[in-house]
Structure 1
Amino acid sequence: MRGALNLLLVVLLALNLRPILTSIGPLLEPMRQSTGLGYQQAALLTALPVLCMGLVPLLQPWLRRWLSEHGGMLAGLSAIALACLWRLQLGSAWALIASAILAGLGVALVQGMMPGLVNRWFPRRLPAAMGIYSAALMSGGGLAALLGPSISAHFGHWQVGLGVWAAPALLAVLAWLALRPRQPVATLGGSAGGHWFGNRRAWLLALYFGLINGGYTSMVAWLPAYHLEHGGTAQGGGELVGLMTVFQVAGALGLPLLLRGLADRRPGLWLALLIQLGGFTGLLLAPASAMGLWVAMIGLGLGACFSLSLTLTLEHLRTPAEAGSLAAFVQGVGFIVTGIVPYITGWLRDVSGDFQASWTLLACTVLAMLMVTARFAPGGYRQAIARQGPQREPTTVS
């Protein structure tokens, strides 16, 4: 029973981690018309929250001195809910950007703790649990992209399509208060203490995580606009993001399950990256002929990469506390990288006049990560991570 409640809680928390990003793209055109947003300003609505998702986990070794896991979770969920409620009243570009920062800080607090929490609650079923967490996270994003235009059309205001996502955040607050395990836990993120800035393998894992997930933030930010450029509609753009999400969920759940007997994560990562590469190549060479197919391939590869790369990180260390600390660092640096990518792809769209240069950059990134994957042989995990361990800080419990 405790395991089922923990799994339900993981799903409810994860559902709130992407709507603040994915609700933007399908409503971008009415937002631009109403507020005067340019493409580079619009990119900040995705890039700034993702940068927050990176910076906050990097501060965990210091935050844990005064913020417990319980307090951090409540603060994060409350910030998400407040940002969404604020968006119900917004009418200016800079207020939108400020709400994105608030929401990003909230997501960062929750998301930074989730891998360590999943590792602690499901140590013997880590790949499956991480797959469910990843699938729920992506499902929340897909629902926001798919339903946002319809909700906005029904109420006659694009703000409602952004603000309605306060409801699941408030539900998650109530669920956390009622369902969380009550045993004492380590402070924020379950960290073992110290940071990983001096560890080369930690940096490699972080850059790897950031670059292979940069395609996700770029697709969320620009796929609806790309669809409009090819004669589509805002609703159709949201449906494409929804389609991508369906296949992300399939990738996050299916590939780890298919390869559950393998201790080596590289075959799954190679396959996922090759599928992504095929999708970006299709967008470059024949976008109009089978856009749905290319988007589905990209989604399948992205979903599997997110789940497998986090599992790969957690498996580098034996204890949940140390693994959670490493995962926080990897997500911290990784999401900074991931947040920069859509800004660069948006800039390329502005200077080139179309998205072909953007998709070319993402395809080249996938090719580079295919080669880097070869370095993650499971037999070398502990040797690589132990060469220069985390610099220690005193820990406390609450």
Structure 2
Amino acid sequence: MTSSPSQPQRVSPLLWLTVVVLITINLRPFLSAPGPLGPVIQNATGMDLRAFSWLTLLPMVLMGLGGWLAPTALQRMGARQAIVSALVLIALGCALRIAGASSMVLIATAGLCGAGVALVQSILPGLIKRQSPHNVPFMMGLYSAALMGGGAFGAQLSPLAIQWGMSWQASLAMWAVPVVIALPLAFYALGRIGLPVPATAATHSQPVASDTAWLMRRRRTWLLVLSFGLMNGGYASTVAWLAPFYQTHGWTATQSGSLVAILSVAQAASALIMPALAAHSTDRRLWIIVALLLQAVGFALMALWPTAAPTLSIVILGIGLGGCFSLYMLVALDHLPSPTQAGALNALMQGGGFILAALAPWIVAQLQQLSGSWTVGWLYQAGVAALVCLMVAQFNPKHYAREMRQP
């Protein structure tokens, strides 16, 4: 990736913060809204659990593929055009769900949204490091919190919209509205700060491969990809199946949606607080391992005692999921001092990671179909969280320079 010559910042820090939040908050409602409406959607479309899992699986695969393609898109389109075009895709995907009476329409629109989200979440972390170099932990925490907060809105408000008289299709399509609201502000603000520009407008530009090919030859890149993907599979499985799981225990769509919203609020709080706690040291391993162990505990409680204290179990799980995600985003940026290279590494991590994470809801659905119970799937996710702890132990910041040495 290439960057334009240094330009003076023409937007206030408050406007930049607002733009980051308004963009990011639109990246998860389309993903979290269908879960609480699962039985309604399945009855209307005839989707079984495996087909329903594609509403999570396909967008996450596309998020992964988009992560790999994001450096090329950034070079050819520039940051503003890439992000604004991505927001248009998300708005279009949400709006088309008004015609979502068939499984194919729902899956196709999930794909559109996933493609848009892929570009935004692969480009924005690098821009945050570039625009806020002295405040990266706070800004990445805010970014992650907004991401999880958007998930909470989707899970809570879509079931309520049905209670207020909207069709289930309209309750999914309404998430186009906040995207449309964010578009003009994003277009304005991203055009007024010094951002990477298309290669055709830059002098002495190098092929985008020069920024990414050497990263793909580093063992650390693949360790980040693998561990991020396994860790984030817990989030994907929870978004897809938490509400349907509790509906098998007699919860209504609204009640189960509220539980997903509680999960997302816990994620958002943890995503904001844990990076701040970890900011006092460049070694983030202890905090990531704590977050992973909380995930393991939360999944185990859901598997073995699902009705004993569901809110407590979900809060524990949410703290683990949210904190781990934001800390991973921070650790990827920590590995390299250059915002451009750090952004490329972050995009590669998300790219491969989301492809792996996309498999988790399908695996949990398969385990449920084979065993007739959700218990095995939740215990599987608890075991994965414990496994990732062993991988995280290798993230010693003293070795970052050696691990990421450019040929």
Tell me the equivalent position of 1:59: 69
* CA offset digits 1:62-88 (Å, max 9, x no partner): 334532211111110001101111001
CA distance in 2, matches of 1:61, 1:224: 36
Alignment of structure 1 residues 334-353 onto 2, 5 Å: 334-353=353-372
| Kept after mapping to 2: 8 A contact 1:47/1:343 | yes
Tell me the equivalent position of 1:247: 266
Deviation at 1:360, TM superposition (A): 1.2
* CA offset digits 1:102-159 (Å, max 9, x no partner): 1111111111111101111111111111000000010011011011101122234101
Distance 1:35 1:6, change over 3 A: same
Tell me the equivalent position of 2:46: 36
Matched, 1:193 2:201: no
Percent of residue pairs bearing the same amino acid type: 38
Partner of residue 321 from structure 2, selected from 292, 302, 320: 302
Matched, 1:202 2:218: no
CA distance in 1, matches of 2:198, 2:275: 28
Partner of residue 262 from structure 1, selected from 281, 292, 314: 281
Deviates further, 175-184 or 52-61: 175-184
| Kept after mapping to 2: 8 A contact 1:113/1:188 | no
Tell me the equivalent position of 2:388: 369
Distance 1:78 1:354, change over 3 A: same
Deviates further, 283-292 or 329-338: 283-292
Partner of residue 25 from structure 1, selected from 32, 35, 42: 35
Distance 1:348 1:384, change over 3 A: same
Partner of residue 221 from structure 1, selected from 240, 252, 258: 240
CA distance in 2, matches of 1:5, 1:102: 28
CA distance in 1, matches of 2:30, 2:183: 17
CA distance in 2, matches of 1:280, 1:177: 41
TM-score (norm 1): 0.94
SS at match of 1:252: helix
| Kept after mapping to 1: 8 A contact 2:75/2:196 | no
Alignment of structure 1 residues 355-394 onto 2, 5 Å: 355-386=374-405
Letter in 2 for 1:230: H
| Kept after mapping to 2: 8 A contact 1:152/1:159 | no
| Kept after mapping to 2: 8 A contact 1:84/1:162 | yes
CA distance in 1, matches of 2:230, 2:54: 18
Letter in 1 for 2:212: G
Alignment of structure 1 residues 67-78 onto 2, 5 Å: 67-78=77-88
Matched, 1:15 2:25: yes
| Kept after mapping to 2: 8 A contact 1:72/1:188 | no
Letter in 2 for 1:335: F
Matched, 1:100 2:107: no
Deviation at 1:61, TM superposition (A): 4.0
Tell me the equivalent position of 2:7: none
CA RMSD of aligned residues (A): 1.7
CA distance in 1, matches of 2:140, 2:100: 36
**Aligned pairs, number:** 388
CA distance in 2, matches of 1:278, 1:13: 32
Deviation at 1:60, TM superposition (A): 3.0
Distance 1:363 1:111, change over 3 A: same
Tell me the equivalent position of 1:148: 158
Deviation at 1:271, TM superposition (A): 1.0
Letter in 1 for 2:27: L
| Kept after mapping to 1: 8 A contact 2:212/2:345 | no
Tell me the equivalent position of 1:315: 334
CA distance in 2, matches of 1:187, 1:304: 32
Letter in 1 for 2:308: S
TM-score (norm 2): 0.92
Deviation at 1:259, TM superposition (A): 3.0
Distance 1:223 1:316, change over 3 A: same
| Kept after mapping to 1: 8 A contact 2:226/2:356 | yes
CA distance in 1, matches of 2:197, 2:362: 34
CA distance in 1, matches of 2:197, 2:227: 27
CA distance in 1, matches of 2:224, 2:314: 26
Matched, 1:4 2:22: no
Deviation at 1:188, TM superposition (A): 7.5
Tell me the equivalent position of 1:393: none
Deviation at 1:22, TM superposition (A): 0.1
Structure 1: where are the runs of 5+ without partners? 390-398
Partner of residue 170 from structure 1, selected from 175, 180, 185: 180
